[in-house]
Structure 1
Amino acid sequence: MEDNILDQSAPMRVLVTGGTGLVGRAIQHVVREERGIREGEEWIFLSSTDANLMDAGETREVFQKHQPTHVIHLAAMVGGLFKNMRANLGFWRNNIYINDNVLQAAHEVDAVRVVSCLSTCIFPDKTTYPNDETMVKRHTECLQVC
């Protein structure tokens, strides 16, 4: 597979974990509607119903089934602020399992590239509304990180 790294004509099978989430659906829209699927490309958008990525065996099976050359890893356990605050260790551990399983499975199928873009959210202790992403810099004294 190493020879395919620079070979732009080699077939490309892109597996997107978290393919039905916010970012996954946006990528799906761009690929299918705006840019179009190019010759030699295949895109697979996984949802949580395709495999439990917290389980190494299920993760390995779905990677063996699709044999991706490229992986865009977007999957994560999410649940919102209050659920995350109540079970933050569980969220952290489950996301570690997901990430480890995806990276290991990608390695085992000789994926050429893996891009990981993981879910993070932060909540300021004190804020004004409406707020936007530029306000994070103004509220560094106390943040709740998910």
Structure 2
Amino acid sequence: MRPLEQLDLVRTSRFRPRYELREACGTLTGTLIWTGAPGRAEARVGDRTWSLRPGSCRSRLEAWSDEDDLELHLDHGEILLAGHPREPMRWQRNVRSAATGSISSAHVHASLRPHRRTAPGFEVTLSGELPQRELVLLTAAYELLR
């Protein structure tokens, strides 16, 4: 099992919301950018880009890419990676504070909490091996922010 990891998701643009996912050492690992269409966003990790959009109801979300066949579906709290053999992960918003949430499965636990005194964004704590880590975390942040 991997040791506990700390990441930051920091807002870097005010007018067209843009968030950057950074490791503790400051290395950029991904970005989340709102597009012009209502409720739509893009998640970028390296040279790959996924389109994020709400599903047919509030509890659904889809992320897909034209470049590869990896898709992510968030459906009633379950995160499914299409084409990935692992069991689904569980996504849960905090009941008391809708601005926080967690991802869990048998192999991983991640939590997203808003920064208190620094730039707008989230503190991300991660333990375990999260498949497609950046895409899953950016999608979870999009779910919290929409």
Q: Same fold by TM-score, threshold 0.5 exceeded?
A: no
Task: Give the number of the structure whose residues are more often strand, by fraction.
Answer: 2
Between 1 and 2, higher relative CO (CA 8 Å, sep ≥ 6) is seen in 1
Give the structure-1-normalised TM-score: 0.27
Give the structure-2-normalised TM-score: 0.27
